[in-house]
Amino acid sequence: MNKKKLAVIPFFVLNGTVIFAALFKGLQISLGYYPVIGLQEITAAHYRQVLTDPFFQKSLVYSCYLALTATFLSLLLGIGLAFLLLKTKKSALNKIISLPISLPHIIVALMVMQGISQSGIISRLFHQLGVIHEINQFPLLIHDSAGFGIILVFLYKEIPYVAVTTLAILQQLELGYIQVAKNLGASRMRIFFSVILPMIQRTVITLFVILFCFTFASFEVPYLLGNPSNQTVALTAYDLFSQADLTTRPQAFALNLVMSGICLIVTLIALIISRLLPGGEKTT
């Protein structure tokens, strides 16, 4: 074992200890063992209570809707933008598109709130121009049930991330295969699905997993821009955890572990699908 590998062992040991200790503590409390408030009996009742709660089920559906919508749109538009950047080959444009990646989500959420809320910049501009006569005539794009503002924040952050990541892969690809396909008369769609997509498939699957898990478990953006009647799973867990009644803590931990389990299941399904597709490792 070389010195570089030995040097990272303390890092993995320290971080692994902290992570597994936190997971063990969370699992312990979620199973009802919480001596601080007098709970010492191991039970799965908190998981049953969380999973059968209609409000949690509604939150789960809403969280999946936000995560899947933002993830698929980000992948679709980000990959398209990557091909556009590959053709233009302008480094200045690449740097401009990369700027949103450096901004924290909470800053982007505040920008969106100031921009498209009913009392925001665009609404006041439309009012000054006479497009609308009253501020409340501007469509509700923040705190709406569809989560338009939430999705917009994720798209603003994730499309450049997908584009920059995919562009780095496209620039390293063997483009001779594409030229051969063109010489054989293949259409652009056929070239994309038969040649390019298998080459970038692993990157796309990895991006899907990262974006889905992040948006599914996101807290700050839905907290600032969400509708109180349509909470995400993360907000539901926060409400349970922040209540003065400590007996709701096991439910909060159970909900967090359920979220982690869902992300793990989605990751495993994505990896299995990746292996079955033409660009995967599975061969027939």
Is the per-residue pLDDT at 283 higher than 60?
no
Whether the CB-CB separation of 121 and 114 falls below 8 Å is answered with yes
Q: What is the pLDDT of residue 280?
A: 62
Closest CA to 116 of 80, 34, 98, 108: 108
User: Between residues 102 and 2, which one has the greater pLDDT?
Assistant: 102
Q: Binning pLDDT at 50, 70 and 90, where does residue 284 land?
A: very low
Report the chain's mean pLDDT, rounded to a whole number. 85
Residue boundaries of the structural domains of the chain = 53-276
How far is it, in rounded angstroms, from Cα 147 to Cα 232? 10
Whether the CB-CB separation of 179 and 126 falls below 8 Å is answered with no
Q: What is the pLDDT of residue 227?
A: 85
Q: How confident is the model over 113-126, as a mean pLDDT?
A: 88
**Among the ranges given (55-59, 79-83, 222-226, 244-248), the one the predictor scored with the smallest mean pLDDT:** 244-248
Is the per-residue pLDDT at 281 higher than 60?
no
Q: Binning pLDDT at 50, 70 and 90, where does residue 183 land?
A: confident
Q: How confident is the model over 238-259, as a mean pLDDT?
A: 86
SS3 at position 284: coil
CATH 2.102.10.10 fits 53-276, yes or no: no
Q: Binning pLDDT at 50, 70 and 90, where does residue 211 land?
A: very high
How far is it, in rounded angstroms, from Cα 103 to Cα 119? 23
Residue for token digits 């950047």? 85
User: Between residues 39 and 65, which one has the greater pLDDT?
Assistant: 65
Q: What is the pLDDT of residue 207?
A: 93
Whether the CB-CB separation of 46 and 248 falls below 8 Å is answered with no
Q: How confident is the model over 245-261, as a mean pLDDT?
A: 87
Q: Binning pLDDT at 50, 70 and 90, where does residue 127 land?
A: confident
pLDDT tens digits for range 74-87:
999 999 898 888 88
Q: How confident is the model over 195-221, as a mean pLDDT?
A: 89
Is the per-residue pLDDT at 4 higher than 90?
no
Q: What percent of the chain has pLDDT over 90?
A: 28
Strand partners, 199: none
pLDDT tens digits for range 46-74:
888 888 888 888 999 999 999 999 999 99
How far is it, in rounded angstroms, from Cα 281 to Cα 274? 8
Which DSSP category does 38 fall into? Answer: T
Q: Binning pLDDT at 50, 70 and 90, where does residue 145 land?
A: confident
Q: What is the pLDDT of residue 72?
A: 95
How far is it, in rounded angstroms, from Cα 127 to Cα 207? 41
